[in-house]
Structure 1
Amino acid sequence: MDTGTLIALGVIFLPWILLIVARVKRKKLQRQLDKANERVEESLSRLAKFEEKYAPITNIERHAKELLDEAEEDAQSTRHEAERILSEATATLKESKEQAQSLKTEASNEAKRITNFAEEQAKEIAGSALEAKAKADSYEKAIIAMRNTIEGYRDEYIIPNHSILDDLAEEFSHKEAGEELKSARKRVREMVKDGRAGSCDYAEVNRRTYAIHFAVDAFNGKVDSALSKVKHDNFGKIKQEIIDAFALVNHNGAPFRNARINQEYLDARLTELKWTVATFELRKIEKEEQAAIKAQIREEEKAIREMEKAKKEAEKEERMLQKALEKARSELNQATEEQKVEYEAQLAELEAKLKDAEDRGQRAISMAQQTRRGHVYVISNIGSFGEEVFKIGMTRRLEPMDRVKELGDASVPFAFDVHAIIYSDDAPSLEKALHKRFELASVNKINPRKEFFRTTISAIKQTVEEHGINDVHWTLKAEATEYKESLAIQKDIDKAAEPHPERVKENSISMPSA
């Protein structure tokens, strides 16, 4: 075939060939699609099984997410509510503070108004006489203050610090007094801050503020200086010093449109003084109590050492007497009839000494074991303290006279006279009861722990007997031997120092005439 024929045949059969090829390719693609569909169906089936298997977990996660969303919403709502409540509370608190401040200011203003009204009424009734009297009182107080500043504060201003404690409960401590002092100082600061410490008649605000500030500063400087000098015996003087500062500051402030310290502020600072003194005194009392406790402990330790020593000495003496008794009994058995009388007397004496040593040792052991046993002593020292002044004390020493001798050492010029040594199973309680009974008769009103009382020996004896203690030997009259002998010697010295009458006569004759 020629070329043309071939081309013609190709043109005729080419579409059929292309159609066949396309069909073959479509079948191949269909098979691939069917396989893909099968895989998809299989995947969908597995996915369905997976969802069915893990559906509860999915539901829980969904539920948890829902709960979390709800919790966040609730928290947001609660937070908003809390912020609203806090805002309202803050506003309420602010309003309450403003109301309280307003009430305080109104009360202060009302008090001033009432005071001013009363003064105006008094002026209307009394006229110029009231004003003249007020000025006279002011001048008089200023004069007294100036005199005290120049001459000093004399004994007429003495008020015992201890009197501050009279209205307080017995168990009131210096810590509680310290809290009261803090409260008093806080009130003083608030009065200054609120402008209630001073007053002035200036109409212009700046001048009035400056004048009041100047007066208050001057007054506080004087008061603070006075309070820093608080001691155990100057309450009355410091109180007067503060009152004088009030008078002087008000007197000096008169030219500045009557710049002055208010009476209320003076009272507040006097209250501060009261609690300062109370804190000082209570702290001092507690220190003294601690010192007394330590001294008592030392005394008891010394007493115990003495008891131990007495016990050992008694035991040693017992051993020596036992040996002596054994020896005496041995010699008695070998003695003749004439020697037996002598040995029996010696034996009886040794047995009595042995019993006495045993008793002393037993007493030492007993007193060491029972710490409240002891002796209350009643002693006096006329030469040192005068008539009818007695010291009532207590000791746990086995020999109470050792304690009495210690008290009569170099600290006093003469030895003490003993009126009674009273043994008691509860010596501290007996001593306390006697001190309570004669409290008003205490010589030292500030520190009654000195244990000296101005009373009679018969009154002390009667009080002891009222406690059921009768088997006590009392010496009602003090011998005061050293004191009386010293008086006699001094009398002889004074008599020897007097000029002889005849010598005086001779001297007067021999003197030349003027």
Structure 2
Amino acid sequence: MEFFLGFALILVVILAISLWSEVRGLRGSNAALASEREALLVNNDGLHRHSEALQYRMERIMAENQDLGRYRPVLDVDREVYHRRAAIAAAEAAAQQQAAAVVGGANQQAAAVMTDAYTKAQLIAADALDAKRNMETYRQEGQALRNIVEGYGDRYLVATETVLDALAEQYSHTDAGSKLKEMRDRSRRMIKEKRAAECDYVEAERRAAAIEFVIDAFNGKAETTLAKAKMDNFGTLYQQLVDAAALVNMNGRAFRNARVSNVYVEARVEELRWAVVVHELREREKEEQRRIKERIREEEKARRDFERAQREAAKEEDAIRRAMDRARSEIAQATDAQRAQYEAQLEELSLRLQAAEEKNQRALSMAQQTRRGHVYIISNLGSFGEDVFKIGLTRRLEPLDRIRELGDASVPFEFDVHALIFSEDAPALEHSLHRHFLAAQLNKVNPRKEFFRASLTMIREEVEKLGLQASWTMTASAVQYRESQAIERAIKEDPAAYNAWVNRQLVLERVLESEADEDASAPTLAAVASAAN
């Protein structure tokens, strides 16, 4: 029994092992089948695509078959090929002949075009060369027309110094006048020698008439321009002369290019240059003469001041001496109490006599020492504005007299005095200050105008650097100017203030007229002397 059970168990184990092996084999077969299935699916897709491709090719073949259907009547392919080749050869030969004809015609046409283009290019080049040559002429004509329409303004102004630079210092206006006459004679000779103008007319009579026309037209404007040399700037007049030549030549183009020659224009410009030089040198000589006369008048006034001061000092000395003599005589007769009073009076007279003698001596010394004087620093705020100062000198005993004269009717307001500097060599001090503030000159043309644009602090520092001491007034009072400004503001704000001011001015005007009438009716010294005789 146990034997059978053991045998059965062994069979069961063997059967289980066998079943397990079959299961494993089935699993492997199943995996292989799955792989094969996937491969078949891939292959199936490929076959499907191949089938679609074959279908597409079949459709194309059918279409080509339809196209080739019209060649079905052709029975002899070789003969058809021969005929086709012959036709092609004939067509090629005809095409070559036609191409040769076309090329020949094109070459001929191209040669004609090239010839025509070359001819036109030469003409264009000639026109371009003429345009280039005339470009400066056209520019000058356009500029001349623009100047006439818009005016010259200040665009062409040049400093007169540049016209005089080539002249020597001793060159006088008389020498320049001789040179001007020489230049005018030269211009006349150019007309006689037929070098003043040109014209392209062949006929002599027409050419002469056209040349005379442009010369007369240009000279008319030239003479007008030369006549302005006394009142206008050289740069502007020069441009007017050049513009006149350009416009005359432009109008002369209608007469076979009748034109004023460049050398003649240059000759007239030289005339203009010397005319300006003559006027400027004459004005400078006049200015120098005015300056000399002014200095003589100033010295004469100073001399009269010195003489008057000496006379007054001598008169005062004489009066004091007589008073001292009376005091001495009275001392001799006076009591003790009166004597002390007279002695004190005599001491005071002695001091006054000493002061009068010193004044007399100072006046005499000032008269003898011609370089002694005062350098003054003054301003006129209402006339010239801020930071404009006049640096001048005077040899008067009373320098304020000279400053009052400067503030006469030529300026609307009086000058304010900022410093009076006494110097043993006043001209040298004045020259030193003028040289230091040279770049600050208000008038850059006339150096004799002694006005400078600089701060008062700078002027004071320069004076102190020279070791000079003076009493300075750093602020300009400008009383009349400031009061005038205040009146103007009040007039703008209040009409009643305007009426009051007008009435006051009318009253002052009547007062001044009455004073003038009294002065006119007063007998002169000559009339009194004549009546006395």
Query: What is the TM-score normalised by the length of structure 2?
Result: 0.63
Query: Contact 1:226–1:238 at 8 Å: present in 2 too?
Result: yes
Q: Deviations over 1:200-240 (max 9, x none)?
A: 22344454444333322321222122102222433233212
**Which 10-residue stretch deviates more, 200-209 or 337-346?**
337-346
Partner of 2:185: 186
Amino acid corresponding to residue 306 of structure 1 in structure 2: D
- Per the TM alignment, residue 322 of structure 1 is displaced from its structure 2 partner at its CA by 2.0
Q: Name the CA shift for 1:485/1:210 in 2 (closer, same or farther; >3 Å).
A: closer
**Which 10-residue stretch deviates more, 284-293 or 487-496?**
487-496
- Per the TM alignment, residue 410 of structure 1 is displaced from its structure 2 partner at its CA by 3.1
Q: Provide the rounded CA distance (Å) in 2 between the counterparts of 1:275 and 1:294.
A: 28
- Per the TM alignment, residue 182 of structure 1 is displaced from its structure 2 partner at its CA by 2.9
1:168 paired to 2:167: yes
Query: Contact 1:219–1:245 at 8 Å: present in 2 too?
Result: yes
- Per the TM alignment, residue 345 of structure 1 is displaced from its structure 2 partner at its CA by 4.9
Partner of 1:310: 309
SS in 2 for 1:254: helix
Q: Provide the rounded CA distance (Å) in 1 between the counterparts of 2:391 and 2:124.
A: 64
- Per the TM alignment, residue 406 of structure 1 is displaced from its structure 2 partner at its CA by 1.6
**CA-based RMSD:** 3.1
**Which 10-residue stretch deviates more, 148-157 or 364-373?**
148-157
Q: Provide the rounded CA distance (Å) in 2 between the counterparts of 1:237 and 1:263.
A: 19
- Per the TM alignment, residue 290 of structure 1 is displaced from its structure 2 partner at its CA by 0.9
Partner of 1:81: none
Amino acid corresponding to residue 411 of structure 1 in structure 2: S
Q: Provide the rounded CA distance (Å) in 1 between the counterparts of 2:206 and 2:278.
A: 39
Q: Name the CA shift for 1:237/1:343 in 2 (closer, same or farther; >3 Å).
A: same
Q: Deviations over 1:403-461 (max 9, x none)?
A: 11122233323221112222233333433443344344332334343322222333433
Partner of 2:396: 397
Partner of 2:268: 269
Partner of 2:59: none
Is there any run of 5+ residues in structure 2 with no aligned partner, and where?
A: 1-121, 498-533
Partner of 1:420: 419
SS in 1 for 2:230: coil
Q: Name the CA shift for 1:386/1:314 in 2 (closer, same or farther; >3 Å).
A: same
Q: Deviations over 1:143-177 (max 9, x none)?
A: 44345445644333333445422443333221232
- Per the TM alignment, residue 317 of structure 1 is displaced from its structure 2 partner at its CA by 0.8
Query: Contact 1:380–1:416 at 8 Å: present in 2 too?
Result: yes
- Per the TM alignment, residue 356 of structure 1 is displaced from its structure 2 partner at its CA by 1.8
SS in 2 for 1:377: strand
Q: Name the CA shift for 1:460/1:164 in 2 (closer, same or farther; >3 Å).
A: farther
Q: Provide the rounded CA distance (Å) in 2 between the counterparts of 1:187 and 1:440.
A: 42
Partner of 2:140: 141
User: Which of these residues, 471, 474, 488, is aligned with residue 473 of structure 1?
Assistant: 471
Q: Provide the rounded CA distance (Å) in 1 between the counterparts of 2:398 and 2:124.
A: 80
Q: Provide the rounded CA distance (Å) in 1 between the counterparts of 2:298 and 2:495.
A: 47
Partner of 2:349: 350
Query: Contact 1:232–1:281 at 8 Å: present in 2 too?
Result: no
Q: Deviations over 1:14-64 (max 9, x none)?
A: xxxxxxxxxxxxxxxxxxxxxxxxxxxxxxxxxxxxxxxxxxxxxxxxxxx
Q: Provide the rounded CA distance (Å) in 1 between the counterparts of 2:353 and 2:247.
A: 83
- Per the TM alignment, residue 378 of structure 1 is displaced from its structure 2 partner at its CA by 1.6
- Per the TM alignment, residue 316 of structure 1 is displaced from its structure 2 partner at its CA by 0.8
Is there any run of 5+ residues in structure 1 with no aligned partner, and where?
A: 1-122, 500-514
- Per the TM alignment, residue 388 of structure 1 is displaced from its structure 2 partner at its CA by 1.1
Q: Provide the rounded CA distance (Å) in 1 between the counterparts of 2:244 and 2:188.
A: 18
- Per the TM alignment, residue 366 of structure 1 is displaced from its structure 2 partner at its CA by 1.9
Q: Provide the rounded CA distance (Å) in 2 between the counterparts of 1:450 and 1:251.
A: 46
Q: Deviations over 1:115-143 (max 9, x none)?
A: xxxxxxxx999753443355454344334
Amino acid corresponding to residue 468 of structure 2 in structure 1: N
Q: Provide the rounded CA distance (Å) in 2 between the counterparts of 1:299 and 1:345.
A: 43
Partner of 1:284: 283
Partner of 1:132: 131
Q: Name the CA shift for 1:134/1:335 in 2 (closer, same or farther; >3 Å).
A: farther
Q: Deviations over 1:90-130 (max 9, x none)?
A: xxxxxxxxxxxxxxxxxxxxxxxxxxxxxxxxx99975344
- Per the TM alignment, residue 199 of structure 1 is displaced from its structure 2 partner at its CA by 2.2
Partner of 2:244: 245
Amino acid corresponding to residue 239 of structure 1 in structure 2: Y
Equivalent pairs: percent with the same residue? Answer: 54
SS in 1 for 2:392: strand
SS in 2 for 1:301: helix
Q: Provide the rounded CA distance (Å) in 1 between the counterparts of 2:238 and 2:182.
A: 19
Partner of 1:195: 194
Partner of 1:223: 222
SS in 2 for 1:419: strand
SS in 2 for 1:366: helix
Amino acid corresponding to residue 482 of structure 1 in structure 2: Q
Q: Provide the rounded CA distance (Å) in 2 between the counterparts of 1:181 and 1:437.
A: 38
Amino acid corresponding to residue 364 of structure 2 in structure 1: I
- Per the TM alignment, residue 277 of structure 1 is displaced from its structure 2 partner at its CA by 0.1
Q: Deviations over 1:296-353 (max 9, x none)?
A: 2122212211211111111111112223334445556666777676655544433332
Q: Provide the rounded CA distance (Å) in 1 between the counterparts of 2:224 and 2:487.
A: 53
